[in-house]
Chain A
């Protein structure tokens, strides 16, 4: 849809072609496993923090690729690094390490601004 600039509320459409992902590129360099996720949800299903909070690793990985990290990065704070997600991930993603790397990479990005 063309945005004529007269709208009262900004469009909430995901403008996927505008999404630039330098931070995600850096994450992939450190953590190539991030590209292996098939969004099965096993991690979110077994997550100890997810029972009480909105923490959801599947959603975090997806939102990083859609340029919506602001919405989901704070969720990672609920992670206790218990590693249950790592036990169930069918792709063998080292999820604990991935979570730590996300923290590092996106924190670095924050500092640059």
Chain B
């Protein structure tokens, strides 16, 4: 009988690692708290930088779960060390005794209503990046038809000590540029603005997308963090920022504002960290042994990580980390047998 490995979190990292572990001859037990697998990716429409459909990646992954025991709507009730094994009890009453656990708990999107000055949940025309993806994915008619000016607000709940998140979420800059182009396709007459502090176009083809956004889509970029948003009697928005390149405060009257909510540690992070007695950083994400050579190894025997559980990551980074973590687990378990 093949050895079990528990994988906690059924987003892309957990699914990919489970498939790799299965291919290496193990029986992964994949646990997901939501009713469906796929994590945030399941709710996302298209992916940067090329705009491919997210489901073209996710669907084949989910169709290929033979040999993986997975449980949705299931949470971890407890984890205890028993000699050289881990005993994992699940909320569905089952339990497993394993030598290796992979934590792929990912991230939670920052709750934009916490930045009260942006008015999410107060003003109708303020939405988030996730709301926009959900709308794109639904293919429904737009909620507002008089959309002439659209703003994107970068760094919502990221790089913000007051919101308790100092880190850069890494993917929202390029996501904003992608979404700005997409929304321009939906409202061709609209003028679209991106309010940024720095544009972090670090990945391959991201800079090209940024150029295309300016040249082909006419997206306008303003360097300045949005300080506050207010509403007029008709429900239209006033957005305040400083144009820091020009050095003057500015005001924009907008019909729709999209907040780029960042990545925060998943709610379960602290709880799991306590259960297996591992550390989190002061940013609240799991802390691996080394951020350079083994970002998927924890400080405790048999506990591994993959994906955004150790900090904001892109999808390709998450997938390759999932493979690397599966190999590291295989190596670890083989070393134990010697």
Using a CB–CB cutoff of 8 Å, the interface residues on chain A facing chain B are 38-47, 50-51, 56, 58-59, 87-92
Any A CB within 8 A of the CB of B225? yes
A90 touches B161 (CB 8 A): yes
Number of interface residues of B (CB under 8 A): 22
Cα A104 to Cα B130 with chains together (Å): 47
Query: Is B242 in contact with A44, judged by CB distance below 8 angstroms?
Result: yes
Check A45–B247 contact: CB distance below 8 A.
Answer: no
Is the CB–CB distance between A40 and B224 below 8 Å? Answer: yes
Judged by a CB distance under 8 angstroms, whether B277 is at the interface is: no
- Which residue in A51, A87, A90 is a CB contact (below 8 Å) of B249? A51
Q: How far is the CA of A91 from the CA of B225 in the complex (A)?
A: 12
A87 touches B197 (CB 8 A): no
Q: How far is the CB of A66 from chain B (nearest CB, A)?
A: 14
Q: Are B225 and A40 in contact (CB under 8 A)?
A: yes
Interface residues of B in 43-100 (CB under 8 A from A): none
Q: Considering the chains assembled together, what is the distance between the CA atoms of A89 and B163 in angstroms?
A: 11
Which of B161, B162, B224 is A45 in contact with, Cβ under 8 Å?
A: B224
Chain B residues near A88 (CB-CB < 8 A)? 117, 227-228
Residue B101 CB within 8 A of the other chain: no
Q: Assess whether B242 is in contact with A90, with CB atoms less than 8 Å apart.
A: no
Residues of B within 8 A of A92 (CB): 161-162
Q: What 6 pairs across the A-B complex have the smallest Cβ distances? A: A41-B242, A40-B225, A45-B227, A44-B242, A41-B244, A42-B227
Q: What are 20 A-to-B residue pairs whose CB atoms are below 8 Å?
A: A39-B244, A40-B225, A41-B227, A41-B241, A41-B242, A42-B242, A43-B242, A44-B242, A44-B244, A45-B226, A45-B228, A46-B227, A46-B228, A46-B240, A51-B249, A58-B242, A58-B244, A88-B227, A90-B159, A91-B161
Assess whether B159 is in contact with A45, with CB atoms less than 8 Å apart: no
Residues of A within 8 A of B267 (CB): none
Q: How many angstroms from the CA of A51 to the CA of B224 in the assembled complex?
A: 16
Instruction: State whether B242 touches A56 (Cβ < 8 A).
Output: yes
Chain B residues 216-254 with CB under 8 Å of chain A are 223-228, 240-244, 247, 249-250
B160 within 8 A of A: yes
